[in-house]
A and B are shown apart, each in its own frame.
Chain A
Amino acid sequence: MTLDAVAWDALRLSLWVALWATFIAVPLALWMAWILARRDFWGKSLLNALVHLPLVLPPVVTGYILLVLFSPNAPAGAALGAIGLTLAFKWTGAVLAAIVMGFPLMVRAMRLAIEAVDPKLEQAAATLGASRIGIFFRVTLPLITPGILAGAVMGFAKAMGEFGATITFVANIPGQTQTLPIAIWTALQIPGGEGAAAAMALLSCAVALGAVFLSEFLARRVAARIAGTA
């Protein structure tokens, strides 16, 4: 295999993993953000701490915990294995690691957006005859869309860059779990691999910049729509 092929494989895998992670994590993060922003219950601060744990824990520890929980012999791993979903040393495991690591960032962005919505607007919608679901889709959701987009981009960027938890949980298998950051690290371990590492680092920068531009563009469009100038 040429270095080029390794690089493209790694990029393709990283994009694949990051897209899946974002796709799965957005609704979950939105739900969690909603609960933390709007509900009051016993153990809320504990849940909040749990969500934010991956942000402060060494990524290696997070990866280790995932390994302990989701290895094929562990209860959670066995249960998923029974329905044909293997995580350990598979790209699916890289997706899980990316979700867990990006989750606190996504929840935070979305929670701030939800808390910024004036509940009085939702009350006004209720007096006009809108049900809870109607209020959510016609009032709340449009107003928090910039926050959801911001959270999604954060999560995507985090997934593209995730290293510690991923390599600990699913190791370094080319084409299967060797994401772009892991491929860069691998290239740096090989004498003469600096060139490949630099090429892949540039690739990484390009993707990151593209994501930021896209999110800025979308956020501006949404903001313009909310301000009613578009």
Chain B
Amino acid sequence: MKLRLKHSFGGFTLDMEMTAGAGITALFGRSGAGKSTVINAVAGLLRPDEGLLEIDGETLMDTARGIHIPPHKRRFGAVFQDARLFPHLNVAQNLDFGTRYAPRGVKTPRADVIDLLGLSPLLTRAPATLSGGEKQRVALGRALLSAPRMLLMDEPLASLDGARKQEILPYLEHLRDGPLGLRIIYVSHAVDEITRLADTLVLLKEGRIATQGPLRDVMADPAAVPLLGVREAGAVIEAEVISHADDGLSQLRISAGMLELPGVQAAVGSRVRLRIMAQDVLLATQRPEGLSALNVLPVTVQSIRQGTGPGVAVALQAGTDILLARITRRAVTTLGLHEGAQVFAVFQATTVAPESIGH
């Protein structure tokens, strides 16, 4: 999918260009960055001042040529923050609404969707009697049954509490990795959701694209730290589960060596995503001894990026992966850090929370 947009409203200008391919493309930005406007323009619910939208060789919108395919002919399934279930229809009828308009021949099997999302106990219920998490599952099922060529998700988990989020996230991972192989544009301002789900990350700031690329590259980019928030920034790397020890720790292999982490649910041999928060990574010029932290990796300073405050973001080459550390400017001077310096990255095993380990 290729999208170009220019739209002004209420003193705000959105001016962006992005592409989205296979898997989940996350569109991240603070509230007011223009995320929902992008979704509405892609869905056809909004006519932008200027814009171009192409997918699978089809032009769905081109203001220069006066092309605006109406929303119902675009075949983008949408899931919104408020589930928008039809209140006069029960769950089964809401799902049927999706099936009804799916083109012949590409219909998604209803039983598969009900099975995938665990909807069978809910079928006769009215939307008003569902919990927030259940509503979102039904909305997701309804969108899937309309056999969309791409799924648009606008903050689908934003109104849910932590437990409900954990209830939905595995379903989204199934969609990403499952046989449907669905393309998804996922709008969110929650970094934890994005690091868990996204393959590609697009950072939107005040109506403009700040950076976009594969999730791992963007998360490891020191320039992205202020955009994601200093507390949320941190590299996402892939690891292989080697073994589970009796004391609850698991051994995982990354390109730079071995890590010991607690609470890893994944089976031995499977690959998991790790998120290592930049503010949890310490740097040492010599291999530290007598330390309670279990994980020490030899790394090379790749770049040092000065923030506006006392903080500095340091990109570290660890094997073929990049880690991010956020330390103080004073520490950079004291340790004499410079590009190419060989140092040790130290982080406690507990710093990678179980829920941020994705499958």
Contacts and interface: CB of A to CB of B under 8 A. Distances in A.
The reply to whether chain A is a binding partner of chain B is yes
Interface of A: 118, 120-121, 123-131, 134, 138-139, 142-143, 225-229
Nearest to A223: B88
Given A124-B78, A127-B76, A227 B128 contact: yes
Given A123-B45, A139-B86, A228-B88, A128 B126 contact: no
B71 interface: yes
Given A126-B71, A228-B87, A138 B45 contact: no
Interface in B112-148: 125-129, 142-143, 146
Contacts of B76: 127
Contacts of B101: 128-130, 134
7 contacts: A126-B72, A130-B97, A138-B97, A226-B88, A227-B87, A228-B87, A228-B90
Contacts of B73: 129
B77 A128 contact: yes
Nearest to B127: A228
Contacts of B142: 128
Which 8 residue pairs are nearest across A and B when measured between Cβ atoms?
Answer: A228-B126, A129-B101, A124-B84, A126-B71, A127-B78, A226-B88, A128-B146, A142-B88
Contacts of A225: 88
B102 A226 contact: no
B70 A126 contact: yes
A80 B125 CA distance: 53
B82 interface: yes
A225 B75 CA distance: 30
Contacts of A125: 86, 97
Nearest to A135: B72
Given A128-B98, A129-B146, A227-B128, A121 B86 contact: yes
B88 A123 contact: no
A124 B81 CA distance: 12
Interface in B143-182: 143, 146, 152
A143 B84 CA distance: 14
Nearest to B39: A127
A129 B86 contact: no
B90 A129 contact: no
B78 A227 contact: no
Contact of B126 (A121, A124, A130, A227): A227
A127 to B, nearest CB: 4
Interface of B: 43-45, 70-78, 80, 82, 84, 86-90, 97-98, 100-102, 125-129, 142-143, 146, 152
B224 to A, nearest CB: 31
A116 B272 CA distance: 48
B276 to A, nearest CB: 37
B106 to A, nearest CB: 11
A120 B43 contact: no
A204 B88 CA distance: 36
A204 B100 CA distance: 48
A126 B88 contact: no
A227 B126 CA distance: 7
A142 B45 CA distance: 22
Given A127-B45, A128-B77, A130-B72, A120 B84 contact: yes
Contacts of A128: 72, 77, 97-98, 101, 142-143, 146
B332 to A, nearest CB: 50
Contacts of B102: 129
Contacts of B70: 126, 131
Nearest to B101: A129
Contacts of B146: 127-129
Contacts of B78: 124, 127
Nearest to A119: B45
Contacts of B82: 120
A18 B146 CA distance: 45
Contact of A228 (B75, B77, B97, B125): B125
A129 B126 contact: no
A129 B128 contact: no
Given A126-B45, A127-B45, A228-B89, 4 more contacts: A120-B84, A124-B86, A128-B72, A129-B100
Contacts of B97: 125, 128, 130, 138
Nearest to B40: A123
